Structure 1
Amino acid sequence: MTAWLRYREGFRVNEKRVRRVMGEHGLLVLQRVYRAKRTSQRSKPRAERPRQYWGIDMTKFLISSLGWVYLVIVLDWYTKKVVGWNLSLRSKASDWRKALDRAINREFPSGVRGAGLKLVSDNGSQPTSTSFMRDMKVLGIEQIFTSYDNPKGNAETERMMRTIKEEVIWLNEFSSLEEAREKMGRWVEVDYNQLYVHSGLGYRSPEEFEGLYFGQKSAFLWDESTSRGGYLDMGWPEKTV
């Protein structure tokens, strides 16, 4: 909130004052305290451009009327943008493919083969399944698996998943899968990709940061009536890397 007021609204405020005022109005949410676990540091891939390294991960949460539902996200490590996601009643490799297909169709409309894309994941049953690995080979996507004893290998994506839990999952009581998809879609595409500012991105949102990289403004628009989004054709050149 402090970053938003400073860099979006132009107010000269400090974090202590913002926290005090929000506390007086009952707007503070208790946060879990995460303590760093001291382990041996290993090198991990470092993205130097958009669409170079993507991370993929899954979490589950409970909808009382349905049971467990499973969320898969695909994160661009360079722009911090959620480029793909899928929410379903299953956690099969095909559900992971749906999230990845969504990302590919969005970021590589002319095809991903030959783009040098690398996909980072853990050693779960879905990304290591025969069908998933075969599909990655056909698409020309290089898979990178984190070491069993290296939890930092996919830290960017896991951190994003934690943010989704704090901002969406833990703050809502969903009554249906459709409601969960609608709220998740709006948060990902609007509240996060377009508006969520990152200090590591110069206090810009993922879409803004990507737009600066390509020398153009983002035009990904979210349609409330269909809970779907797409890039608006503004006559810009196709996004390439």
Structure 2
Amino acid sequence: MRYPASEKLEIIRIVEQSHLPAKRTLDQLGIARRTFYRWYDRYLEGGPEALEDRPSAPSRVWNRIPAEIHDQIIELALEATALSPRELAVRFTDEQRYFVSESTVYRLLKAHDLITSPAYVVIKAADAFHTKTTRPNEMWQTDFTYFKIIGWGWMYLSTVLDDFSRYIIAWKLCTNMRAEDVTDTLDLALVASGCDSATVLHKPRLLSDNGPSYIAGELAEYIEANKMSHVRGAPMHPQTQGKIERWHQTLKNRILLENYFLPGDLEAQIEAFVEHYNHQRYHESLNNVTPADAYFGRAPAIIKQRERIKRQTIEYRRLQHRKLAA
């Protein structure tokens, strides 16, 4: 079976970021180890572009990136060390109005020994509910996750995430996981989204698991009173809430780098990361816009602008090549 370059890259990222041994991960994916390591060697040597199944061809000299652009990319990479080559390429294009591809950034960083191995864990969870949403506030995912505060005990984070945009609408740090904590978080979400207005005809549908707080009668009464609806994932199948599971893991990868001794310290770190996640973190599944861009309807204009920048950049490089060749 032939895999397109995009699928090869996704498989490489899954194996790199899996908490399981590579052999076990590959067995679950149905990929032969010999095949995977052939892809991986090509990827490490040439970046995502090297995964394409095509014969070798002469380099397109006209499309070579100028040295001053190389320097600017390296400068950005040194300033924003937490960004991946994909995120650096998108940010550079947005900020400098000059298109560079992920593969170009990867090769440049690799040449300067600035590529690091993944230092985080990503769970494998379904990216989408069985019926995909088409607009913000159509469906919200909600769940709890937990954090240990040294000398204090456990705290539980209740979050409401918009399924369409992955935007964190509301969150609350709780001492328990009660139905009351769920409804308090939903109150915050309804106000923040404007869905508490009587003029909103289509209220969000809530997606949760089957935890005690989500099957409680108190929550059912709240849902009915607010003219919402509620669906729950299949028991023992957390992948149904894949997006919020991924959010939890992304959050913990950052938050758990430090120890916390007071609830206020943890709350401040969560607040800062939610702000970063919503407004600064480019999301690959959202065509490399932020959750806030997708939630507030800015994504189409941003994507259109990037396509325009890409065309203008390529035309500029072609023109510069012709001038030099004349």
Q: Is 1:61–1:70's contact at 8 Å kept on the other side of the alignment? A: yes
**Corresponding letter in the other structure for 1:120:** L
1:145 lines up with 2:232 in the alignment: yes
Look up the match of 1:188.
Answer: 274
Look up the match of 1:164.
Answer: 251
1:201 lines up with 2:283 in the alignment: no
Of residues 102, 105, 123, the one that matches 1:14 is 105
SS at match of 1:171: coil
Q: Which has the higher strand share?
A: 1
**Corresponding letter in the other structure for 1:100:** L
CA distance in 2, matches of 1:56, 1:4: 27
Look up the match of 1:58.
Answer: 144
The higher radius of gyration belongs to 2
Q: Which moved more, 1:61-70 or 1:107-116?
A: 107-116
CA offsets per residue over residues 127-168 of structure 1, 9 Å max, x none?
Answer: 111111111110011000111153322111111111111122
Q: Which moved more, 1:63-72 or 1:103-112?
A: 103-112
CA distance in 1, matches of 2:173, 2:163: 21
CA offsets per residue over residues 56-107 of structure 1, 9 Å max, x none?
Answer: 0101110012100001111101111010111122221111122211111100
SS at match of 2:202: coil
Q: Is 2:129–2:241's contact at 8 Å kept on the other side of the alignment? A: no
Q: Against the structure 1 CA distance between its residues 193 and 34, is the aligned structure 2 distance closer, same or farther, given a 3 Å change threshold?
A: closer
Look up the match of 2:307.
Answer: none
Look up the match of 2:96.
Answer: none
Q: Which runs of 5+ in 2 are unaligned?
A: 1-82, 94-99, 303-326
Shift of 1:188: 0.3
Q: Is 1:121–1:145's contact at 8 Å kept on the other side of the alignment? A: yes
Q: Which has the higher helix share?
A: 2
Shift of 1:34: 4.5
TM-score, scaled relative to structure 2: 0.57
CA distance in 2, matches of 1:209, 1:33: 23
CA offsets per residue over residues 182-228 of structure 1, 9 Å max, x none?
Answer: 11111102x110001011211110112223359899xxxxxxxxxxx
Q: Is 2:125–2:242's contact at 8 Å kept on the other side of the alignment? A: no
Q: Is 1:119–1:143's contact at 8 Å kept on the other side of the alignment? A: yes
1:134 lines up with 2:221 in the alignment: yes
1:30 lines up with 2:113 in the alignment: no
Q: Is 1:47–1:53's contact at 8 Å kept on the other side of the alignment? A: yes
SS at match of 1:144: strand
CA distance in 1, matches of 2:125, 2:179: 31
**Corresponding letter in the other structure for 1:50:** P
The percent of aligned pairs where both chains have the same amino acid is 21
SS at match of 1:21: coil
**How many residues are matched?**
207
Q: Is 2:125–2:239's contact at 8 Å kept on the other side of the alignment? A: no
**Corresponding letter in the other structure for 1:3:** R
**Corresponding letter in the other structure for 2:105:** N
**Corresponding letter in the other structure for 1:30:** A
CA distance in 1, matches of 2:163, 2:211: 20
Shift of 1:115: 2.0
